[in-house]
Structure 1
Amino acid sequence: MATKTWKIEKDLCRCCHGEGAFNNLAEPRTFLDKVEVYSDMLRECLDIDIPPVPGELCAITYTICNACIARLRDACNFKKQVQDCEQRFMTLYYKNAIQGLKPATKVKEEIEVSIEHAQSDTDADIVLKKEDEDDDDDNHFLGGDDDDGMSDDDLPIKPPKQSVSTMKTRPKPKPKPKAPPVVKKLKPPPKPKKAEPKPAKEKKGEDKPLTFTLTKHEDGTQKYSCNVCEKNFKRRDLFTQHYKMVHLKMKHPAFRSCHVCNAKVRTRKRAAHMETEHGIPAPSCGACGRKFAFPSEVLRHQKLYHMGEKNYQCDVCDLKCRSVGHLKAHKMKHVPDRPFKCEVCQKAFKWKSGLDTHMMIHLNVRPHVCKVCQEAFVQKSSLRYHLSRKHPDLV
């Protein structure tokens, strides 16, 4: 049996196998002021993970066409619509804010029947007698001789008609006298109820009761302190994740089952799991071989480290940096003063981390302990220097 060869001349859409000039699945795109990454949309909406293949086919086979992008957007919007509607419905349901309309009961009106003259028993007998006479005339007409000379015996036997006189007649009931009209008593109008103040509805965008304390520093950095355990975080999302998992005991939403072996794996560790357990290679950089969790991180790594893309420029010396963190660290070189001062010895530092390390000396906090002589130090570098001088055999 001859093997068929699939020759790809242009980009290949991994969703419909169409060829053309398409968009990369992992490259961020902006649509209606929103950044879209199509590989992440497939993973989050449809739970489909499309890995890139290594080698020359990676760039031309890891794309998606415009028609599939439109269908993917519709699927994501529909999923979000269903989730929003279901959340709103269940919220109103548990608040008993949904009521059903009861069907209105129809009342049938009674029809009044007026009888002008009631027949007496004698009148009924007269009518029955007349009907008997009419029946006799009919029988006489049917029983006569025909032109063919057929007798009564030659005629087909018919079941005898039941005369009206032999049927039991029930006398018609006498009309009941009409009941006098019932006059309905009007109920007194209900007393107006006092209008109770309705609870204020939560407007969209209003924050719930805060469970953290926000502290802003002079250098522009922020600190989110948990009001329960007083732990500090640099970003709001990190605090939210800590509060849900530690204090609310909620399960981590990033755990998902593998579509091959049904093992529960974190989203960021799925690529490593697929490579070690199932032999599917993780997204990696073709230049340095570094592996990543998502293909979008490969593109970002290549732009920053191999292509030298630097989009963050310093306002003072026009130096371009790779990220916001590098730019903030560079701007501290242009600050003449040291904003962070020790309240004990008035020693100043450019960085808050340096002040925090310095305060550990005044508080006698020495976390780094030598395992040989149990001598403690404030900084890890001091412990390394101690090991090189006192215990060189352990270094």
Structure 2
Amino acid sequence: AGAAGVFSQKTTMRTYPGGRLAANLVGYMSQTKDSDTPVGVQGIERQYDTLLTGKDGSATYEVSPTGQRIPMADSTVVPMKPGQDVQTTIDRDLQWYADQRLADAVRSAGADWGLAITMDVRTGQVVQLSQAPTFDPGSKATMQDSNTVSRFVQTVYEPGSVLKTITMAALADQGKIAPDTQISVPGKMVIDKFPIGDYWQHGTLNLTAAGVIAKSSNLGTIVAAQQMSNQTMHDYLRKFGFGVGSGVQLPGESRGILAPAASWTKANHATISFGQGISVTALQVVRAVGAIANGGVMVDPSVVSGFVDADGHRTDAKEVPSRRVVSKKAAAEVTRMMEAVTADDGTAPAAQIPGYRVAGKTGTAWRVNPVTGRYVRGQNTVSFIGFAPADEPRFITYVVLDKPFANAGGGSTAAPVFHDIMSMALERFGVAPTGSRSPKVAQEW
């Protein structure tokens, strides 16, 4: 102190006590060329930038010719007005655990990236939203485009077999299918000169609709979906929220890609029924399958629960909209089919949670090269979505891993992550087992 040329200068610094915790939802700040004040660049920091920023104060007073303030002279002081706090719906402990579990899964599977989302199906509140790799919003050194992007709303991909639940829900809503509906599944199909098969070799199979879902048969889904016209199937996909925003109100959200029904070929109709040829965001999928869990009523997801002003007064966030997309009966029938997925002879027994009934669906989709726009054989996007308790659903969890090691599937790679995150969610929120047993549903006839 007192040394020539040494002086102090006040500056501001934004700190993030949670570090990497939910960083892709929280977002970050950045300086612009046009302003000395940092602005929100991504996530909540950007969406609610004006609300969080507040207003600067000011002081006006008289000074002498030498620059000294004149005592007792006229002066005006306008106090600064602090910004409001934004309260999220995220459960901090569940978020921390899911972040670690997902990062481990991405690392061990050698995946490019991963997502895990847990939502309360009744309210639409997202209680956990993890992404890997992620970043520390307080450290510029950790930031790059591949990890600061909010993948849950900005990255689109083909969902694969998870979408079969929506196809079956549409058919059940029209009374065209039930869990025990008999479907003759061919060993292979050629549609518009495009060969389509299942992930395992087989001859003609006699499966029920529940068996088609439990075994995740593409061909069985195509046969069932042929009862719908292009327009009817397209209309149901739109009702379930595909091709439109999720309603979550976060910046940069993609609507996904759902081509108009008039442009569909027979091959488009076939592949879209099992989740190829349609692109989605993760939150769209959570909202859509969440409607099945919620008895056919779709609730928009939300990540903000309320706002608190400088005086401590809290204002609740606006109630999120909901609407019925399929009948309660149709939702219950598809739920029964999805319970067969997590049975011992289903595609995802690893998703079972002792004491709870779990409904779920695996997904393994061919990955599209973003440069060429063509499918890359041997590269997949794998996933698992499930809700529990299946007979009184409270939470839905969706896990996505992009480009894991070859031969990785949703049942073996994503389902164990679902199991761990859902188990903690049920425990954290004190959701007791219902005590009922899953009904036995025939998979063959």
Relative contact order higher in (CA < 8 Å, ≥ 6 apart): 2
How does the TM-score come out when normalised to structure 1? 0.24
Q: Which has the larger radius of gyration?
A: 1
How does the TM-score come out when normalised to structure 2? 0.22
